[in-house]
Chains A and B, each alone.
Chain A
């Protein structure tokens, strides 16, 4: 019985301390000279250049920027659950809206000169080198025998851009919404892998699976930089991706300064070098990044609020029915 007592005297204070620490440290957001950036993972490389540059500017003097990267939806949920954050840079607007709902971001967060947007891109179709299947647009992806990769729109918020690009391409051709829904169903019958996230899908495409990968222009460019052998096609009709950034309400002025810097010319140059389309038109090289003639935005379908409900509600929506339909006809 001797061994128990010392053990106990050691354990109890430890447990007490651990509990106390857990209770006390939540939601200690960075004010003053600390900015915690919580972002989705794709722009990580860009931010790793932008942050040191920001810390050298007069506005960023003495500021330490901490970084956290992850899946956009997960990051939003983590902030709502109390992860310290002063700036949120996420993949799509509904993730920022989660923070608005939790009263962590002001409802007028998009009333900035850039409408709350920090980077742009377009949805493209990555194909094998030389485009052996002659894919020129979304119509080709629904043809029989074409193997398509796109992440699962329920696990990957970013993949919703892909779905809306494909859907919108049909509307741009003059099809009715019902016909466009049918097209999506056909397209998803050709999807051979529904990865959980965009990066996984790129990886699987690189490993030799599929004829085409629906992805973002910046992601395709990054893959090329990393030595993946692929070409990409910018369809005539595709969606303009807009990634939001917002300072949290309880964050200090330095958080706002960081947001301002990220949307300023020097930072935008970094984003442009990483394959994004800058929000400053003069920084977009029209030769490398031509404007798709029939480009559209999410606003065309009523904005993310409407689209999320209509297309991506997990219990009843266009995509939920299409995924459920996969079981009826194929298994």
Chain B
């Protein structure tokens, strides 16, 4: 049983679900540190490390986010409500959330599949493909949008034209969020104890049952962590969708492009109000993901 828990450590590091020891050891390769080493660091390092972490987090994340929240309320609650409840803002947010959910669902399936192939299969050029997976992160997103448009747009070589449609938005988001699920599932799969699967097989379980009852439960926290990150990213994505979506209000306009329009039109408090709604949504989802991971981890034990 303890072997299983060890295998799950990487997922714990990816989500906020790690135990105290795992969280502190997160600077190192997760799942490796022995209990003995951790005890030695416990006394002084946490105070200084904690202070540094707090200072850094405040500077880079908390203060800017608080400033966004503050900016959203400059016009008072009625202005806030007006900004987030107007038809166009609502339509943009609804479309963004729906398309993000769809893309994340797609990512959960394809991302897990890709991770599976990368870990369990051997094929020529595997290392090359493995390095390829992170490239959507490296490519400036505006270039990604341009390339997708050139390929799948009106004058592209593809036999279909999805330029400036909702499908195009989904495609662009699928491209930029691809690495999240793959990269969180991969290490867990690698460390997964195959003896469990062999034992199940020898007891007469079919491959599908083995996957469903043994493998999948172990992967759930990692999949959830990857999906949460992918969703948060999709919600705020701008560069890759701004060209290919066509930005037609009520049809293909995503929240980030709507926000951009508000900022360009000097309605910064309205833009901040809509961002706050998106932030709250993301935060709620990330909390949910962390809850799923902890639960999954407990169940796996």
Decide if B267 is an interface residue (CB 8 Å cutoff).
yes
Given A196-B257, A200-B243, A207-B149: A157 in contact with B264 (beta carbons within 8 A): yes
Given A192-B164, A207-B153: A156 in contact with B250 (beta carbons within 8 A): no
Q: How far is the CA of A156 from the CA of B242 in the complex (A)?
A: 13
Contact B91 A4 (CB under 8 A): no
Contact B247 A326 (CB under 8 A): no
**Which one of B44-52, B65-73, B114-122 is at the interface?**
B44-52
Within 8 A of A (CB), among B232-289: 242-243, 246-251, 253, 257, 260-262, 264-267, 270
Q: How far is the CA of A192 from the CA of B44 in the complex (A)?
A: 62
Within 8 A of B (CB), among A289-330: 312-315, 323-324, 326-328, 330
Decide if B21 is an interface residue (CB 8 Å cutoff).
no
A interface, size bucket:
35 or more
Q: How far is the CA of A208 from the CA of B163 in the complex (A)?
A: 10
Majority secondary structure, B binding face: helix
Decide if B194 is an interface residue (CB 8 Å cutoff).
no
Decide if B88 is an interface residue (CB 8 Å cutoff).
yes
Q: How far is the CA of A73 from the CA of B149 in the complex (A)?
A: 26
Within 8 A of B (CB), among A62-84: 71, 73-74
B interface, size bucket:
35 or more
Q: Which of A192, A195, A203, A314 contacts B265 (CB 8 A)?
A: A314
Q: How far is the CA of A36 from the CA of B87 in the complex (A)?
A: 42
Decide if B157 is an interface residue (CB 8 Å cutoff).
no
Q: How far is the CA of A90 from the CA of B234 in the complex (A)?
A: 33
Could you tell me the distance in whole angstroms from the C-beta of A287 to the nearest C-beta in chain B? 33
Decide if A331 is an interface residue (CB 8 Å cutoff).
yes
Contact B257 A4 (CB under 8 A): no
Decide if A17 is an interface residue (CB 8 Å cutoff).
no
Q: How far is the CA of A312 from the CA of B247 in the complex (A)?
A: 17
Contact B250 A4 (CB under 8 A): no
Contacts A/B (CB < 8 Å), 20 sampled = A1-B41, A8-B48, A15-B55, A73-B264, A98-B266, A155-B264, A195-B242, A195-B243, A195-B247, A196-B242, A207-B149, A207-B154, A208-B154, A208-B155, A314-B267, A315-B86, A324-B86, A326-B248, A327-B250, A331-B91
Contacts A8-B52, A194-B248 supplied; 20 other A-B pairs, CB < 8 Å: A4-B45, A4-B48, A15-B55, A71-B264, A154-B265, A155-B247, A155-B264, A156-B264, A193-B164, A196-B242, A204-B163, A207-B153, A209-B153, A314-B262, A315-B270, A324-B249, A326-B248, A328-B87, A330-B251, A331-B91
| Interface residues, chain B, with chain A CB atoms under 8 Å away | 40-41, 43-45, 48-49, 52, 55, 82-83, 86-88, 91, 146, 149-150, 153-156, 163-164, 242-243, 246-251, 253, 257, 260-262, 264-267, 270
